[in-house]
Amino acid sequence: MPLVNTTEMFKKAYEGGYAIGAFNVNNMEIVQGITSACEELKAPVILQVSAGARKYANRTYLMKLVEAAVIECPDIPIALHLDHGPSFELCKSCIDDGFTSVMFDGSSKPYEENVEEASRVVEYAHKYGVTVEAELGRLAGVEDDVKVSDDKAQYTDPDEVQDFVTRTGVDSLAIAIGTSHGAYKFKPGQKPKLRLDILQEVSDRLPGFPIVLHGASSVVPEFVKMINDNGGQMPDAIGIPEEMLREAAKMAVCKINVDSDLRLAMTASVRKYLAENPSHFDPRQYLGPARDAIKAMVEHKINVVLGCAGKA
Ligand code: G3H
Ligand code: 13P
Ligand code: ZN
């Protein structure tokens, strides 16, 4: 089937109490690892491309890799989504390229500017059947070139969400309830916490409306250990506990963003392989297992966190 937007996916996910995985893609092995897991488990999927990924891989290569995945995985709905679009211009460029979904991220802008620019993106996107995600509240961590320090991280204010969604016409909303980008989400000794009460308040004000969680990697300890055991240095890497994310997926969260866990799986696999096989130098020898590690990670997410196996 051709690329789809997120409307049907989210409707079914909301009603079914599960979430769709939104995985960041940067190269061929990542696209293949994610989509082969989803095809095998019959899980719908969102492949998302950041501005950084577009710069790294080049927009044509990424587009063609995703088109190849659509041909290779005929049984599952795949959406191609722009992650953290900082401007109308980038959103427009992705829509013109054939993306089926875009995020306009105006979360670091003043509220009225966020409303204004998100509305402009919606007006353009909806003409082409493209769905739009926006964000209210700010996550700690790194979003492309925008760095948000811990003390500036803000939970989403439930009093703002109805006004924002009504005025902009966005199709889904990313909220800040304690997740953050990257592999260091909590300080050592700090108890991981997700404000599911804020999520509930938001969905009380927006019944039936799909909510998005960014920064939702669990930073699986097994892979952090594998990296550290094979020459890496990632002490104190900590993520969001999987059972908290599963709870959120049963509530109004329909899209769960994962990038760091894919990076960790791939890096752990490459480090281990090269440490164990110091004489090997054919990239296929270490990128093959790295692709398998991505696939296994995505299968794990589908089964343990998202609950979307068999929902294609
Ligand atoms: O939210 C950010 C994603 O992990 C993408 O990261 O901008 O380094 O590609 P990136
Ligand atoms: P993680 O860094 O937790 O994987 O979050 C990724 C993300 O939110 C992409 O938009
Ligand atoms: Zn994000």
251 Cα to the center of ligand 2, angstroms: 20
Nearest CA to ligand 2 atom 1: 215
Nearest CA to ligand 1 atom 6: 144
Q: How high is the pLDDT of residue 149?
A: 56
Q: How high is the pLDDT of residue 143?
A: 47
103 Cα to the center of ligand 3, angstroms: 10
pTM of the predicted model, to two decimals?
Answer: 0.96
Q: What is the SS3 string spanning 206-243?
A: CCCCCEEECCCCCCCHHHHHHHHHCCCCCCCCECCCHH
Cα 213-254-306 angle, rounded to 5 deg: 85
179 Cα to the center of ligand 2, angstroms: 9
Ordered by where they begin, the domains of the chain are 7-218+240-259+291-306 (3.20.20.70)
Pairing of strands 141-143, 146-148: antiparallel
Q: How high is the pLDDT of residue 63?
A: 97
The residue whose two tokens read 């866990």 is 261
Closest atom of ligand 2 to 219 CA is 3
Q: How high is the pLDDT of residue 100?
A: 98
Please give the chain's pLDDT, 312 residues, in tens.
899 999 999 999 999 999 999 999 999 999 999 999 999 999 999 999 999 999 999 999 999 999 999 999 999 999 999 999 999 999 999 999 999 999 999 999 999 999 999 999 999 999 999 999 999 998 865 444 445 555 556 899 999 999 999 999 999 999 999 999 999 999 999 999 999 999 999 999 999 999 999 999 999 999 999 999 999 999 999 999 999 999 999 999 999 999 999 999 999 999 999 999 999 999 999 999 999 999 999 999 999 999 999 999
Residues with CB under 6 A from ligand 2: 24, 83-84, 181-182, 214-217, 257-261
In the chain, what is the straight-line distance between the N-terminal and C-terminal CA atoms, in Å?
Answer: 11
Distance CA 104, CA 146 (A): 14
Closest atom of ligand 2 to 216 CA is 3
83 carries an active-site annotation: yes
The backbone region for 226, taken as left when phi is positive above 0, alpha when psi lies in -120 to 50, beta otherwise, is alpha
Amino acid code (one letter) for 55: K
CB 32 within 8 A of CB 70: no
- The rounded Cα 114 to chain-centroid distance in angstroms is 21
Mutate to test the pocket of ligand 1, among 59, 144, 262, 263 (most ligand atoms within 8 A of CB): 144
Q: How high is the pLDDT of residue 146?
A: 46
109 Cα to the center of ligand 3, angstroms: 16
Cα 260-307-171 angle, rounded to 5 deg: 75
Q: Which of 156, 108, 164 is nearest to 132 (CA)?
A: 164
Distance CA 302, CA 281 (A): 33
97 Cα to the center of ligand 2, angstroms: 23
Residues with CB under 6 A from ligand 1: 24, 50, 52-53, 83-84, 143-144, 181, 259
- The encoded tokens of residue 29 equal 């092995």
Nearest CA to ligand 1 atom 4: 259
Nearest CA to ligand 1 atom 5: 50
CB 309 within 8 A of CB 42: yes
Q: How high is the pLDDT of residue 148?
A: 53
Q: Among the options 75, 83, 97, 157, which is catalytic?
A: 83
